[in-house]
Amino acid sequence: SGRWARAVAILKELEEKCAAPVGKLRQVADAMTVEMHAGLASEGGSKLKMIISYVDNLPTGSILCIGPWGTNFRVLRVQLGGREGRVLKQEFEEVSIPPHLMVGNSHDLFDYIASELAKFVASEDEGVRPPAGRQRELGFTFSFPVRQTSISSGTLIKWTKGFSIDDTVGQDVVSALTSAIERQGLEMNVSALVNDTIGTLAGGRYYDNDVIAAVILGTGTNAAYVEHANAIPKWHGPLSKTGEMVINMEWGNFRSSHLPTTEFDTALDSESLNPETDLGDVLGDIVRRVLLRMAKEAALFGDTVPPKLEVSFILRTPHMSAMHHDTSPDLRVVGTTLKDILGISNTSLKTRKLVIGVCDVVAKRGARLAAAGVVGILKKMGRDSSPRDGGQVPRTVIAMDGGLFEHYTLFSTCLEVTLKELLPDDVAAAVDVVHANDGSGLGAALLAASHSLYL
Contacts with Mg ion, 344-383, as mask; x by CB under 5 A: ----------------------------------------
SS3 of residue 223 by DSSP = strand
- Using the contact rule CB under 6 A, the part of the chain among 30-38, 45-53, 206-214, 312-320 near ligand ADP is 312-320
The least distance separating ligand ADP from the CB of residue 77, rounded to whole angstroms, comes to 19
Residue 290 one-letter amino acid: V
Please tell me the count of residues contacting ligand ADP according to CB under 6 A: 15
Is 317 among the residues that bind ligand ADP (CB under 6 A)?
A: yes
Is 199 among the residues that bind ligand ADP (CB under 6 A)?
A: no
Is 218 among the residues that bind Mg ion (CB under 5 A)?
A: yes
Q: What angle do CA 276, 271, 312 make, to 5 degrees?
A: 115
Nearest Cα neighbor of 411 from 370, 383, 351, 380 is 370
Candidate list 104, 130, 343, 403; residue touching ligand ADP; CB under 6 A = 403
- Using the contact rule CB under 6 A, the part of the chain among 38-46, 149-157, 310-318, 353-361 near ligand ADP is 310-318
Is 404 among the residues that bind ligand ADP (CB under 6 A)?
A: yes
Is 275 among the residues that bind ligand ADP (CB under 6 A)?
A: no
Q: Which is nearer to Mg ion, 373 or 402 (CB)?
A: 402
Q: Which is nearer to ligand ADP, 106 or 141 (CB)?
A: 141
Q: What are phi and psi of 431, to 5 degrees?
A: -100, 130
Nearest to Mg ion by Cβ — which residue? 218
Is 139 among the residues that bind Mg ion (CB under 5 A)?
A: no
Contacts with ligand ADP, 153-192, as mask; x by CB under 6 A: --------x-------------------------------
Is 223 among the residues that bind ligand ADP (CB under 6 A)?
A: no
Between the alpha carbon of residue 425 and those of residues 30, 287, 400, 429, 431, the distances in Å are 19, 34, 22, 6, 10
Q: Which listed option, ligand ADP, Mg ion, none, makes contact with residue 277 (CB within 5 to 8 Å by class)?
A: none
Q: What is the DSSP string of 314-331?
A: -S-HHHHHHHHT--STT-
Residues within window 392-421 making contact with Mg ion, judged by CB under 5 A: 402
The least distance separating Mg ion from the CB of residue 127, rounded to whole angstroms, comes to 30
The burial class, CB within 10 Å (0-12 / 13-18 / 19+), for 171 is middle
Alpha helices in 42-145 (DSSP H): 99-102, 106-122
The least distance separating ligand ADP from the CB of residue 83, rounded to whole angstroms, comes to 34
Q: Which listed option, Mg ion, ligand ADP, none, makes contact with residue 200 (CB within 5 to 8 Å by class)?
A: none
The least distance separating Mg ion from the CB of residue 430, rounded to whole angstroms, comes to 27
Is 318 among the residues that bind ligand ADP (CB under 6 A)?
A: yes
Candidate list 218, 252, 335, 376; residue touching ligand ADP; CB under 6 A = 218
Nearest Cα neighbor of 39 from 247, 314, 304, 257 is 247
Residue 195 one-letter amino acid: N
Q: What angle do CA 14, 15, 17 make, to 5 degrees?
A: 65
8 Å CB contact between 310 and 396: no
- Using the contact rule CB under 5 A, the part of the chain among 122-130, 213-221, 268-276, 404-412 near Mg ion is 213-221
SS3 of residue 60 by DSSP = coil
SS3 of residue 307 by DSSP = helix
User: Which helix (H) or strand (E) is 138 found in, with range?
Assistant: strand 136-141
8 Å CB contact between 445 and 79: no
Question: Cβ contacts of residue 283 below 8 Å, gap of 6+?
Answer: 317, 320, 362, 363, 366, 404
Q: What are phi and psi of 332, to 5 degrees?
A: -60, -40
Candidate list 195, 321, 396, 412; residue touching ligand ADP; CB under 6 A = 321
Q: How many alpha carbons lie under 13 Å from residue 309 in its C-beta half-sphere?
A: 22
The least distance separating Mg ion from the CB of residue 173, rounded to whole angstroms, comes to 18
How many residues appear in the chain? Answer: 455
Nearest Cα neighbor of 58 from 383, 451, 452, 455 is 451
Q: Which is nearer to ligand ADP, 209 or 409 (CB)?
A: 409
Q: Which residues are at the interface with Mg ion (CB under 5 A)? A: 218, 402
Q: Which residues bind ligand ADP (CB under 6 A)?
A: 161, 218-220, 280-281, 316-318, 321, 402-404, 407-408
